[in-house]
Amino acid sequence: MPEGDTVYRTAHHLHSVLAGSEIVRFDVRVPGSATADLSGQRVREVVPRGKHILHRIGDHTLHSHLKMEGAWHIYRPGTRWRAPTYAARAIVATAQWETVGFDLAMVEVLPTRDEARLVGHLGPDPLSDAWDAREAARRLNVDTRPVHVALLDQRNVAGFGNEYANELLFVRGIHPETPATAVDALALVELGARMIRQNLPGPGRTFTGDSRAGRGTWVYGRERRACRRCGTTVRATTLGASPTSQRNVFWCPRCQPAVRDDPATAARS
């Protein structure tokens, strides 16, 4: 699933080819914005906000979200697309470049002055110049839900996805069902910010420092395998804010001991 670092790289690649150029083709293929046409307008910038991408074109913004399967491709005009035409949700083209968004979600064209309606609820973004670790920690510290769930709530911190949540909690030695109110939230988000920034330069991501295939994570995706640190079998469950937002959770019961004053959590450890 695309996470904040992937979205950041995508937005910056789009910005590098579109910024300052005039739009010669603008085609949005979703209800509600299908009649919008920003042809003739200049792209001011393309910026990430958490997991959202904002094309600021003239006085308007094309907003999109990658969700689980979305991606933006960059082509030279006339080049054959690497994804099926029916999956295209937005096309923004200049005389030199054609950018196509496939399988996007939450696609909408709106006045730039109204962007807050879509992204104003987001918490501090560790990849933003306005990153505020203390504000992110404050939001986590008043969230009584399991810390894994709280980390994925973009209203607390914008940009961390499920892979980051699992790996962050392992490195900090925190059981995923520990209430967010019971952890050192500032240390957690500061570590997360370092991790996500260190992963920006490369096309992939690693949490262990080993970029070889299958070696980049401590616990994520490693159910029933030996913990890389202590050898204990990695366990898995699901957690989520609602039945439709359950995510796969992985942890080492030795490196991430359960909170013992919570019988339910201890029983699953």
Does the annotation count 247 as an active-site position?
yes
Does the annotation count 67 as an active-site position?
no
Q: Cα separations (Å) of 162 from 14, 32, 67, 221, 239?
A: 25, 30, 12, 11, 10
How far apart CA 130 and CA 126 sit, in angstroms, is 8
Nearest one of 177, 189, 173 to 227, comparing CA atoms = 173
Does the annotation count 194 as an active-site position?
no
Does the annotation count 3 as an active-site position?
yes
Q: Are 127 and 88 in contact (CB under 8 A)?
A: no
Structure tokens at 91: 């096309």
Phi/psi at 119 (5° precision): -125, 0
How far apart CA 136 and CA 101 sit, in angstroms, is 30
How far apart CA 181 and CA 147 sit, in angstroms, is 8
**Of 3, 98, 163, 177, which residue is the catalytic one?**
3
**Of 2, 179, 253, 257, which residue is the catalytic one?**
2
**Of 44, 49, 51, 235, which residue is the catalytic one?**
51
How far apart CA 137 and CA 115 sit, in angstroms, is 25
Catalytic residues: 2-3, 51, 247
